[in-house]
Amino acid sequence: MFYGVQYYPEHWPQERWAVDAQMMQEAGINSVRMGEFAWSALEPHEGALDFAWMDEAVALLHAHGIKTLMCTPSRTPPPWVFDRYPGVRNVGADGHLVNYGKRYTIGLSHSEFIQLSQAIDLAVIEHFAGNPAILGWQVDNEVGGGNDCYCERCRRRFHRYLEAKYGTVEALNAAWGAHFWSFHFTTWEEVPLPANNPQLALEYRRFLSELNVEFTRWRSEKIHALDPGKWVTTNFQSFSARHTDYAEVAKVIDLNGMNHYPPRSPEFILDFYRGARGTVLPVEQFTRLLEVDTGPGWMRLWAYMAIAHGACGVNFFRWRCCRWGQEQHRDGILPHDGERARRYEELARMGAEITHAGNRIDRTRSQSEVAILMSYEARWALQAGLSNPAWDPAEDAIAIHNTLRDQNVPTDALDPREDLSAYRLVFAPRLFSIDAQIAENLRAFVEQGGTLCLTAPSGVVDEHNVSFESPRPGPLAEAAGIRVSDLSPLHAPLPLHSVTIPGLDWTEASVLSDEVHPITAEVLATYAEGWRQGLPAITVSRFGQGRIIYVGTSLRDEGLSALVAYLCAETGVSSLCETPAGLHVYQRVGPNERLWFALNYTEEVLALTPPGTWVDILSGETCTGEIRVAPLDLRILASDIQ
Ligand SMILES: [Zn+2]
C-alpha cells in the first residue's frame, strides 16, 4: 500500500533532507511525490538543466526505503518562460491577458508552450527513466485547472477542431440549430468565442477538455515508451473543478489519482474518481485546511476514509508547511519549524498500522450493488443552458451518495457509458443530456432487470445540447412511461403525498419540479399542496425485466432517505449494518475475506453489532456482538468468506 507524503526538496536546505528522510522512515512512509512545480529548479535558465539536486533527493530517500512518484513539471513555467515567450499566457473569457504569478496561466494549445513544456517534460522522463527508485509517474498537477483560453489562436484551433468533427459548416448548423439571434455560420472563422450560446459553450468546453486529455496522453505515452513497467497517474481535482472529463483522462493513464480535501470535497468523489477502474490514489490527502478547525484524529480518520472507499494508499499533502509562497499558511504534516508535532505523531501511528495491515487491505477491493451515474457532459450542458448552480447534477449525486452512506450501503459512481451489468440499482441524477450510447446502455440495464432512478431534469437535450423534439426524458421517455412537459424552480419546499413509499408522506420536494404526465407509468407520489396538488412527483414504469423510477423533483433529508430505503428494499440491496448517526461502515472484499471499516466521525464512543465473528486486524482482537469504536477512531474488522 502506497503510504506517502508530498515532498519539496527544492524548498529546503540540502542538509535538512537527511533529517526529513529519517523522520519519514520512522513514520512508516514508503513513498514521496516530488517535482510537479520544480521546473524553475530543474531548468533555472533556458536550456540549462540541473537534475543533480533531484538525483540526490531521490537517492537519499531511496536509501531510507522511500520510493518516488515523479511528476512532470510543465504547467507552472518559471518567470524566464513568460519573459522570453509572452505568447504562452492565456486569455480569460473577458478578453484580458491573464497575468502570470498564479498557477496555470498558460494556454495549452499555444505553440511556444507546447514546445517548451514537451522539452522539459521529456528531459525529466528521459533522465529518471530506468531509475529503480522511481515507483511511478504523475503527469503534471491538476491537469486542466485554470488554463482555459479564449485567445484568437485558440479560437482558430477550435475552428479546426470543429471542421474535423463536423466536416462542413452546414453540418454544424444542422447539429447546433440555426438562425436563433441570427446564429447561422457560412465559414468556420465566423464561430465566435466566448459565447453564451448553449451549443457553442458545450462544444468549447469539450474542446478544452480534449486539450487536457491530449496533454496527458502525450506524456503518458512518452513515459510508457521510455520507462516501461512504471504506472502513470495524474490528480483529478476537487469536484468543483468542471474543466475536464476525467473519465476520458482515465483512459490515457494507468491509475486514477485525486485530491482529497475533506470536508471541502464531498465523500462522493472517492467513489466517483475510483470509477470503473476500481481503485484510486489520493496523491493529495488532507493534512490540515486553513479554514477548518481540525483537532487530533481527523487527519488519520479522513485518510482511512479514502482507503475504506477502495483507495490503494494515500499521499499526504504535504510534508512540511512552506515558509513562503501562495500556500505559506496552508497544509503540512510538520509545522513551519520542522519539529515533530501532533500531525507527525498521527502520521507515524497510521504508518505503523499500514506497515502491519497494508498488504492485507491491498488484497481487497470495493464491491457494490448500487451505482450513481455522473456525466461531465450532462453537467456542462446544464451549466451552459440553465446556469443555475442549485441545479448542478453534482448536488443531487452528492445528496444521494450521502444518503446511501448514512444507510451503510456501498456505492460505486461511474460515467453513464460504463458497464452496469453488476448492479441491481442505478441512480442517474439530473442526467440532463443523453446521447444514443447512454440511452442504449441505460435501456439495456433496465431490460435485463435493473432498476434505474432518474431525477429531474433528465433527458432534456442531446449531445449537442439541443432540446429533444420528442417528449422528455427524450430517448428514455417510452421506457419511463411518462411525458415531461415543463420544468420550473420551486421557490419554497413543497410537501409530498405517498401511500406507497414508507416514510415519504409529508416530506418535502425542493429546488425544481418537472411537470410529469404518466403514459404507462404508475404514480408513486404526488404533490400535496399548491397548484401542483395531486400531480405526479414520482413515477415508476416497468420496462423489460426491470423498471424506471422518475423523480420529477429534488428530495433531501427524510424524503431522500425514505426513497433510497424503499428502492434498496425493492431491489434486494441490503445495508451492511445499522449504525448510530456519525458511525459509518464501508466494505472491501478480497478472495478470502471481507473487511469492514467502521469509522466514527463523532467525539462520542459509538458501537455497531455486526453479525457473526470478526477479527480486528489492527489489534488482533476477536470480536462478537457489540463492537465499540472510540471517538474519531476506527476499527478494521475481518471475516472469512465461506
Ligand atoms: Zn489561447
CATH of the domain at 22: 3.20.20.80
Q: Are 301 and 633 in contact (CB under 8 A)?
A: yes
pLDDT of residue 294: 87
Same domain, 110 and 254: yes
Neighbours of ion ligand 1 (CB under 5 A): 107, 149, 151, 153-154
CATH of the domain at 437: 3.40.50.880
Q: Are 442 and 375 in contact (CB under 8 A)?
A: no
278-283-289-295 Cα dihedral, nearest 10 degrees: 70
CA atoms within 13 A on the CB side of 6: 25
Query: What's the 161 CA to ligand 1 centre distance in angstroms?
Result: 14
Query: What's the 91 CA to ligand 1 centre distance in angstroms?
Result: 6
pLDDT of residue 103: 86
Query: What's the 188 CA to ligand 1 centre distance in angstroms?
Result: 17
Query: What's the 252 CA to ligand 1 centre distance in angstroms?
Result: 24
Same domain, 545 and 588: no
Q: What distance in Å separates the CA atoms of residue 432 and residue 459, rounded to the nearest whole number?
A: 5
Would 198 be classed as within a structural domain? Answer: no
Same domain, 438 and 564: yes
Same domain, 33 and 85: yes
Same domain, 134 and 277: yes
pLDDT of residue 354: 98
Would 496 be classed as within a structural domain? Answer: yes
Instruction: Single out the residue in 333, 363, 393 at which a domain terminates.
Output: 363
Q: What distance in Å separates the CA atoms of residue 550 and residue 23, rounded to the nearest whole number?
A: 55
pLDDT of residue 131: 98
Would 79 be classed as within a structural domain? Answer: yes
Query: What's the 246 CA to ligand 1 centre distance in angstroms?
Result: 22
Same domain, 380 and 317: no
Query: What's the 232 CA to ligand 1 centre distance in angstroms?
Result: 27
Query: What's the 254 CA to ligand 1 centre distance in angstroms?
Result: 29
Query: What's the 276 CA to ligand 1 centre distance in angstroms?
Result: 33
Query: What's the 626 CA to ligand 1 centre distance in angstroms?
Result: 61
pLDDT of residue 242: 80
Q: Are 260 and 231 in contact (CB under 8 A)?
A: no
pTM: 0.97
In tens, the pLDDT along 599-635 reads 999 999 999 999 999 999 999 999 999 999 999 999 9
Query: What's the 553 CA to ligand 1 centre distance in angstroms?
Result: 40
Same domain, 85 and 7: yes
Instruction: Single out the residue in 511, 542, 571 at which a domain terminates.
Output: 571
Query: What's the 107 CA to ligand 1 centre distance in angstroms?
Result: 5
Same domain, 12 and 98: yes
Would 290 be classed as within a structural domain? Answer: yes
Nearest to 394 by CA among 405, 404, 385, 383: 383
Q: What distance in Å separates the CA atoms of residue 72 and residue 17, rounded to the nearest whole number?
A: 21
Provide the domain count of the chain.
Answer: 3
Would 334 be classed as within a structural domain? Answer: yes
SS (HEC) of 100-167: ECECCCECCCCHHHHHHHHHHHHHHHHHHCCCCCEEEEECCCCCCCCCCCCCHHHHHHHHHHHHHHHC
Same domain, 334 and 406: no
Handedness of CA 332, 338, 343, 348 (dihedral sign): positive
Same domain, 427 and 480: yes
Q: Are 434 and 462 in contact (CB under 8 A)?
A: yes
Instruction: Single out the residue in 510, 544, 571 at which a domain terminates.
Output: 571
CATH of the domain at 615: 2.60.40.1180
Query: What's the 546 CA to ligand 1 centre distance in angstroms?
Result: 48
Query: What's the 168 CA to ligand 1 centre distance in angstroms?
Result: 24
Same domain, 304 and 422: no
Would 567 be classed as within a structural domain? Answer: yes
Would 190 be classed as within a structural domain? Answer: no
In the chain, which stretches have pLDDT less than 70? none
Residue 136 lies in domain: 2-145+208-363
Q: What distance in Å separates the CA atoms of residue 303 and residue 309, rounded to the nearest whole number?
A: 10
Which residues lie closer than 8 Å to 491 by C-beta, 6 or more apart? none
Query: What's the 90 CA to ligand 1 centre distance in angstroms?
Result: 5
Q: Which three cell numbers stand for residue 182?
A: 441570427
Q: Are 169 and 186 in contact (CB under 8 A)?
A: yes
Q: What distance in Å separates the CA atoms of residue 288 and residue 292, rounded to the nearest whole number?
A: 7
Query: What's the 112 CA to ligand 1 centre distance in angstroms?
Result: 11
Same domain, 503 and 477: yes
Would 189 be classed as within a structural domain? Answer: no
Q: What distance in Å separates the CA atoms of residue 183 and residue 168, rounded to the nearest whole number?
A: 16
